[in-house]
Amino acid sequence: MTSPKTTLRLTPLAETLPAAVPFVGPETQERARGAQFDARLGANESGFGPSPKAIAAMADAAHDAWMYGDPESYDLRVALADDLGVDADQIMMGEGIDGLLGTLVRLFVGQGDPVVTSAGAYPTFNYHVAGFGGALHTVPYRDDHEDPEALLAKAAEVGAKLIYLANPDNPMGSWYDAARMEAVVAAIPCGSLLVLDEAYIDLAPDGTAPQIDPETPGVIRMRTFSKGYGLAGARVGYAIGPRALITAFHKVRNHFGMSRVSQAGALAALRDPDWLEHVRAQVAISRAEIARIGAAHRLRALPSAANFVTLDCGRDGDFARALVAALSAEGIFVRMPLKAPQDRCIRVSCGQKAEMMAFERALPRALACCTEI
């Protein structure tokens, strides 16, 4: 007997969405090229690794991996609250900033609801907005920085429910100081919520993080253990915001999204500030090295407050895309901004000395492949 034909009963919205991801992972690219990369410098992970204390804590917690993680992440939230000088009920844990963004968008964005971001800013936020049917409005970068005043003006114009702004910024590495960000918070339009993505704040210069009372209406801050703490694979992020907003996450969040292993690793990492300072120092060295390598081949390094350097190729997006492809063929994984005029650049993550040496060897060969463009 022939089985009945199965029909996918997707929602009308889901029917319209592409089956795509915001980023093509390096593993996918390695499978396509049939070889591993010599240098993994495209995903802004920390090649300097997590604290040895975090590794030990995760190894020990692995014995209890048969149990679900604490759905309240109580110990980690209390430790973070103490470190940040806020209350634990003003913090929400999640599966990295990406997971928190998805939950936040689910809470606020319905079909046709206006949302504002920068053209070329972090695409995973846009992915979530599209997934819930939001209407995305964009403003251009200004001098390779996100333009906070333009974002606020557009939000007021369209009545945006959410405004996305990253400081420091990905993909450009640019940043604003605390005073500028505090002025932005003071000017948020009534009815809008500023999503302040601070994924790279642990690596930014002193004076970058604004002083914001967590009960300030209209703003939620997103942070992560993926960058400075080197736990990208553990997926540990957190949000800081008003109690009422944090409580609202419980309406729809995945309560068991974080494993015991991840929670243990993040807690141990937080308790090892010396390792974070070590990573900050290594990132500074690597940023300088990337800038030196680029300058030797007439690629200009843009100032960066993150664990990557954006190199201006001085050409257009076609040239930069060709260079990314040529570097991949040479075994070097890097990425680039997606929108013009920022797509004239490539973006190189900080890494250990061996990876910097591999990048330095490969860059002139890759550039030679792009001479006809």
Mapping DSSP to helix (H, G, I), strand (E, B) and coil, where does residue 193 land? strand
Summarised one tens digit per residue, pLDDT across range 310-347 is 999 999 999 999 999 999 999 999 999 999 999 999 99
- Full domain range(s) for residue 43: 23-49+274-368
pLDDT at 3 over 60: no
Query: In this structure, which amino acid lies at residue 277?
Result: E
Q: What is the pLDDT of residue 22?
A: 85
The answer to the question of residue 18 being in a domain is no
Residues of the chain above pLDDT 70, percent: 98
Mean pLDDT computed over 73-94:
98
Tokens of 223: 């942070």
The answer to the question of residue 347 being in a domain is yes
The CATH number assigned to the domain holding 113 equals 3.40.640.10
pLDDT at 185 over 60: yes
Check whether residue 120 and residue 253 sit in a common domain: yes
The answer to the question of residue 257 being in a domain is yes
Q: How high does pLDDT run on average in the chain? A: 96
Boundary of a domain, candidates 242, 271, 300: 271
Q: What is the pLDDT of residue 191?
A: 97
Number of domains in the chain: 2
Name the strand (E) or helix (H) holding 13.
helix 12-16
Q: What is the pLDDT of residue 373?
A: 76
Check whether residue 338 and residue 242 sit in a common domain: no
Q: Which of the pair, 24 or 223, is modelled with greater confidence?
A: 223
pLDDT at 186 over 60: yes
Q: Within 13 Å, how many C-alpha atoms sit on residue 111's CB side?
A: 5
- DSSP-assigned letter for residue 204: S
Check whether residue 258 and residue 297 sit in a common domain: no
Residue 47 near residue 349, CB atoms below 8 Å: yes
Mapping DSSP to helix (H, G, I), strand (E, B) and coil, where does residue 28 land? helix
Check whether residue 29 and residue 142 sit in a common domain: no
pLDDT at 275 over 90: yes
Residues of the chain above pLDDT 90, percent: 96
Check whether residue 147 and residue 112 sit in a common domain: yes
Separation between Cα atoms, residue 297 and residue 301, nearest integer Å: 11
What's the pTM? 0.96
Summarised one tens digit per residue, pLDDT across range 159-170 is 999 999 999 999
The answer to the question of residue 201 being in a domain is yes
